[in-house]
Amino acid sequence: MRIDVGAVTISYDWNDCPRHGRTPVVLSHSLATTSRMWDAQIEALTARYPVLTFDTRGHGESSVPPGPYSVQSLAEDVRALLDLLELTQVHFVGLSLGGIIGQVLALRHPERLRSLALCDTSPRTPPEAHALWDERIALALAEGMGSLVEQTLARWFTAGFISRRPDVVDQVKTMIANTDPVGYAGCAAAVKGHDVLERLGDIRVPTLILAGSDDPGMPRQTAEQMRDAIPGAELVVVGPAAHLSNMEQTERFNEALLRFIDRAEE
């Protein structure tokens, strides 16, 4: 389904569940993927909760406005989507870029979140990493997303998983290659400009930090820093897993996520 959210059209899917009256779970995907990266989580969650997935602007079936984008605009896309679907409060789960969006939502619209799961994400992009993001943006726009596939897969999965599960890796490879370069560049600019490190203490919703043990984008030190800064936050590390821990360690990821959401729902 597609719906106009201001000047952006967002593609979304609503997955109902047999238990009525439960708070919906919203799943927000990483940069250069689509909502399909959550397929294994949807299957586990819908036995207990309705689930909303969507393609972030510039990705999948959503529209691709000219960039660059800001994290604030991406968060407001979600807030507007919730308004249009008449969802007053949700459990928000975001991985990587989705986790960045979740942080901003929790700071700007805390009343909309029953709980927050921040997976394989970061509270800021340090200045020393800005040049790297500029290089990725320039490469995507000049040569297309195919030029970023192999280096991205090497960061997102451990070597053992790449050799053991080529079917999953190929699925993600296709997502990356099919991402619109303009959409990628727009969202990459938002990641580059993200910095809420000094505001993490203002997040007041129940929060889970969920990290892959081998994720270069969210090393253990960063995960612990976020846990310590957000009041009452808990940290769960699953492994072996790199950046897409939800796909590499699906069972452990789902178990930790459901346990957390169940407690927040009580």
Q: pLDDT for 22-67, tens place per residue?
A: 999 999 999 999 999 999 999 999 999 999 999 999 999 999 999 8
Cα–Cα distance, 195 to 126 (Å, whole number): 8
Residue 2: predicted pLDDT = 95
**Interior CA angle at 18 toward 12 and 21, to 5°?**
80
CATH number for the region 2-124+195-265 comes to 3.40.50.1820
Question: Does residue 104 register a pLDDT over 90?
Answer: yes
Give the burial class of 248: count Cβ atoms within 10 A of its Cβ; 0-12 exposed, 13-18 middle, 19 or more buried: buried
Distance, CA of 12 to chain centre = 15
- Tell me the pLDDT tens digit for each residue of 189-247: 999 999 999 999 999 999 999 999 999 989 999 999 999 999 999 999 999 999 999 99
187: enclosing H helix or E strand: helix 181-192
pTM: 0.97
- Tell me the pLDDT tens digit for each residue of 113-134: 999 999 999 999 999 999 999 9
